[in-house]
Amino acid sequence: MNIIEYISSFFLDFIKILCEMAPFLLLGFFFAGLLYAFVPSKNIERYLNGNPLKSSVLAALFGIPLPLCSCGVIPTGTALYKNGASKGGTVSFLISTPQTGIDSILATFSLMGLPFTIIRPFAALITGVIGGFMTNIVTNKEVEIKSIEKKGKKDKTISEKIQLVFRYGFVDFIQDISKWLIVGVVLAAIISVLIPNNFFELINISPIYQMLAILVVSIPLYICATGSIPLAAMLILKGVSPGAAFVLLMAGPATNAATITMIGRVLGKKSLLIYLSTIIIGAIGFGLLIDYVLPYEWFSEISKNHLYHNHETNLSWWQITSGIILSGLIINGYIRKCIKRNKVNNNKFDMKIIKVEGMTCSHCKSNVENNISKLPFVKNVKVDLVEKTVSVEGEQVEMNKVKEVINSLGYKAE
């Protein structure tokens, strides 16, 4: 093929993959909004303490359907810990939540079939429970940090919650994952065009070495649970073992350099070691289970047939429509970010501004704003994710206390 044909094939594959995922993603975003509006994290933190096994199981069960990637789960998990959750419950939540979510479960079914759809949340549950239980046992003598006193807040009305469903599901959440979703689809399209089918089978690399190679790449890098799906699906099509592809689905979303740094800072080295060990051993263990124990055709042939079927037929009208809607929502998210970046802030009160490292998404924004607002001298607080700043309004603002709150959440106040 010449360069024009390569480019044409790339865009065609990109559009097909995005449109195939779009209906399931839109449905997932809606459920994500429902969970966010009606099951906020502040209502589950009381279940993440107490009996080591019970708190770990409940934390994993709560975390699996939540639509939080690793950049969003860290501030949420940190807030849970600061407000009373045990270290074990927090680690269980941090392990299970980013691996999957209601949106990624539906998207997994769209590209990879039912077996992967079932085993993905199951693996998240098992690893979350084991990691949380081990953390509770190892750190049971450590002193827990007391929670920050909360101000009473009026509960939202049903009307406000319904508005929050759509605002979060189709605006805030899409802004969080759109970048990494696009990256995943782009990489999948590139692999589809440049790498021949069954390439990895032809070069005959053992599945265990494939898993280790993917694990080395996955741990420090960030890719969200949804964005990892098209990449893993395309790797299977090119001959990577299903178990190795599952390592990407499991370790890619659950770890990255920023996550590792923040867990070590907030929960300590022992908790970090258990967190990493659980994910690494769990990813390899489930990868080997898929390749050598469970029926191989469940994950290889079904996934390949699913991909071939999707790519060899024309897109349906509802896939095309969903793709257009999803693209519009992604574009809307970027437009909103640009408006925020260029908006002039005309506050009539004096304010103090502090630079903060580590804030990456709307969950970070909400977490910082909610906790700083609990300080008695704070009248208003606003986070700017683009500039990485926190603006604090109030009379006689005590910046030392503001910094203490920010640092206690796992961020770095400069």
| pLDDT(385) > 80 | no
Distance (Å, whole) CA 287 – CA 243: 4
Concatenated DSSP letters of 384-410:
ETTTTEEEEEETT--HHHHHHHHHHTT
C-alpha torsion 392→353→79→222, nearest 10: 150
| pLDDT(81) > 80 | no
* DSSP E strand stretches across 54-124: none
| pLDDT(347) > 90 | no
Backbone CA torsion sign across 208, 209, 213, 216? positive
Lowest mean pLDDT among 90-99, 121-130, 355-364: 355-364
The pLDDT value given to residue 152? 46
Other CB atoms within 10 Å distance of the CB of residue 83: 20
Q: Please, which residues bridge with residue 354 across strands?
A: 390
Among residues 86, 88, 91, 95, the alpha carbon closest in space to that of 46 is found at 86
What domains does the chain contain, in order, with CATH numbers?
Answer: 3-330 (no CATH), 344-413 (3.30.70.100)
| pLDDT(287) > 80 | yes
Q: Cβ distance 59 to 93 under 8 Å?
A: yes
The pLDDT value given to residue 226? 80
The pLDDT value given to residue 147? 45
Model confidence pLDDT, tens digit, residues 18-33: 887 788 778 878 877 8
Model confidence pLDDT, tens digit, residues 189-211: 887 788 776 677 667 788 899 99
Backbone CA torsion sign across 165, 171, 176, 181? positive
Model confidence pLDDT, tens digit, residues 116-172: 999 999 999 999 999 999 988 888 766 454 444 444 445 678 888 888 888 888 888
| pLDDT(43) > 60 | no
Max mean pLDDT range (102-111, 122-131, 333-342): 122-131
Model confidence pLDDT, tens digit, residues 44-74: 666 677 677 888 888 888 888 877 765 667 6
Lowest mean pLDDT among 117-121, 257-261, 302-306, 308-312: 308-312
Continuous segment of H or E residues that includes residue 357:
strand 351-357
Q: What are the tokens at 76? A: 């949420």
